[in-house]
Amino acid sequence: MFYDQVTITVRAGKGGDGAATFRREPFVPRGGPDGGDGGRGGDVVLIADKDLNTLLPYKYKKHFVAEDGSDGAGNRRHGKAGESLYLKVPPGTIVRDAETGDILADLVAVGDQAIVARGGRGGLGNVHFVTPTFQSPHFADKGEKGEERTLLLELKLVADVGLIGYPNVGKSTLLAAVSAARPKIADYPFTTITPNLGVVGVGDDSFVLVDIPGLIEGAHAGKGLGDAFLRHAERTRLLIHMLDGLSADPLHDLDAVNREMSLYARDLMSKPQIVVVNKMDLAEVRERWPAVQKALQKRGQTAFAISAATGQGVNELMQAVSRQLRTLPSISPASQEEVRIFRPQSDDAFTVERVRGAFVVRGRRAERIVETADLDNPFARRRMMILLHRLGVTKALTEAGIKDGDRVRFGETEIVWDGSAFDTIIDKP
């Protein structure tokens, strides 16, 4: 079964918690803190795999979670980092953020990979919090949560040559004749309902040919599932435009399919095309061929006359395709204008706003300070408040009109504001 679009949810691993332990050994009566750091959570990574040509593995399983980092331990032992989760996808997969539609990655070639969710940092052990005036910190940081994201995976098959044309013109028959592919072939429209790939050998050269299901007028808007099929033409370097020699007006068919491609994506019309008239094994088609050939020549188009069923003219066509491919550039990923470049913002940047009676602070560092603090430990809470003050959060909240007892949200964590508690610590190290 062919499956070329799917939505999945990925979550990176949480960082392990730091340890709040103290050295306990014989003859060392005053052993200091020795808590190790937590391990970093595993990432979620997508990688293009040569053995896949469909997104079917993600039809039923939709949620993927990487391994959490291990907690730190005494004797300054750091926790083990979580294993990253590698998800295999077919070459040609475009990865989008499902909420914004931004392209996060374009995995064209085999082996291309992208980190789509980063693991959380491990929490610091209590050895990091020792100061000349604070020798016995009984707290440690919690591990940071891993990133979570909903992704839209969209497959655009990677092929050198695309076979396009109206339904039932003989595209599948040609693919079967020149490759080992065995598409369904029958004498009725829309026999092919999913793209089929085949490898064509011409002398020492070879190329990948994709049979794109028949296009009809309105395909760009989804008629006959045309919009789903047209995306697979975007990855090709060259198009073979096949016409039915029995058609009442082959040139009208040629123009109609080209019009649908231009309405779907104007870049499709910039791809070189080789026009082919099929079914030359029929006497009626052979009689009409000179007139069709002349009409195409008036347009400046050279056409091949073939019979996919008998093989007439097929070798000459494949040789011409191979020659033209040598002059064309290789398939490239989406341009930088299409792929969103993630430029890290300052961790210290934050915003404060009031939402439905609560104050909401947004900012990577501010949220991390609260998220990783052990709010049940008064020493850890004190340190959290000092860090927020140094960052400028307390001043911003005061200017926004916060009062004691108001709720403040940092990411998914909510605290109750106690201004007097801040007043007693802000001048202390």
Q: Residue 90: what are its φ and ψ, rounded to 5°?
A: -70, 150
> Which runs of E-coded beta strand occur in 193-337?
196-202, 205-211, 238-244, 273-278, 303-305
| Superfamily for domain range 1-157 | GTP1/OBG domain (2.70.210.12)
Instruction: Check residue 321 and give its pLDDT.
Output: 93
Instruction: Check residue 72 and give its pLDDT.
Output: 94
Q: Confirm if 249 and 232 have CB atoms less than 8 A apart.
A: no
Domain(s) labelled CATH 3.30.300.350 in the chain stretch across: 351-423
Burial zone of 174 (CB within 10 Å; 0-12 exposed, 13-18 middle, 19+ buried): buried
Instruction: Check residue 181 and give its pLDDT.
Output: 56
Q: How far is CA 228 from CA 5, 7, 193, 232, in A?
A: 9, 16, 10, 8
Residue 329: strand, helix, or coil: coil
Instruction: Check residue 154 and give its pLDDT.
Output: 87
Residue 45: strand, helix, or coil: strand
Instruction: Check residue 381 and give its pLDDT.
Output: 86
Q: What is the distance, to the nearest Å, from the Cα of residue 300 to the centroid of all Cα atoms in its chain?
A: 41
Decide the pairing of beta strands 63-65 and 5-11: parallel
Q: Class for domain 351-423, per CATH?
A: alpha beta
Residues with Cβ within 8 Å of 34's Cβ and at least 6 positions away in sequence, in order, are 21, 22, 23, 74, 75, 76, 125, 127
Q: Nearest 10 degrees: CA dihedral of 361, 362, 368, 371?
A: 50
- Give me 15's structure tokens: 């960082």
Domain(s) labelled CATH 2.70.210.12 in the chain stretch across: 1-157
Q: Confirm if 198 and 178 have CB atoms less than 8 A apart.
A: yes
CA angle, corner 286, sides to 280 and 292, nearest 5?
100
Residue 304: strand, helix, or coil: strand
Cα separation, 136 vs 327, in Å, equals 72
Instruction: Check residue 80 and give its pLDDT.
Output: 95
Residue type, 30: R
| Superfamily for domain range 161-325 | P-loop containing nucleotide triphosphate hydrolases (3.40.50.300)
CB atoms within 10 A of CB 54: 18
Residue closest to 86 by CA, chosen among 111, 109, 122: 111
Walk along the chain (429 residues) and give the pLDDT tens digit of each residue: 456 789 999 999 999 999 999 887 776 666 788 999 999 999 999 999 988 878 888 988 999 999 999 999 988 899 999 999 999 998 889 899 998 888 888 888 889 999 999 999 999 999 988 888 778 888 899 999 999 999 999 888 778 898 988 888 888 889 888 886 554 444 434 444 467 778 888 888 888 888 887 564 443 344 444 455 677 788 788 999 999 999 989 999 999 888 888 887 767 888 899 999 999 999 999 999 999 999 999 988 889 999 999 999 999 999 999 999 999 887 666 544 444 444 445 577 899 998 888 899 998 889 999 999 888 888 888 888 888 888 999 889 988 888 888 999 998 889 888 766 555 444 443
Cα separation, 140 vs 123, in Å, equals 7
pTM for the model stands at 0.70
Instruction: Check residue 379 and give its pLDDT.
Output: 84
DSSP 8-state class, residue 229: H
Residue closest to 5 by CA, chosen among 161, 171, 211, 194: 194
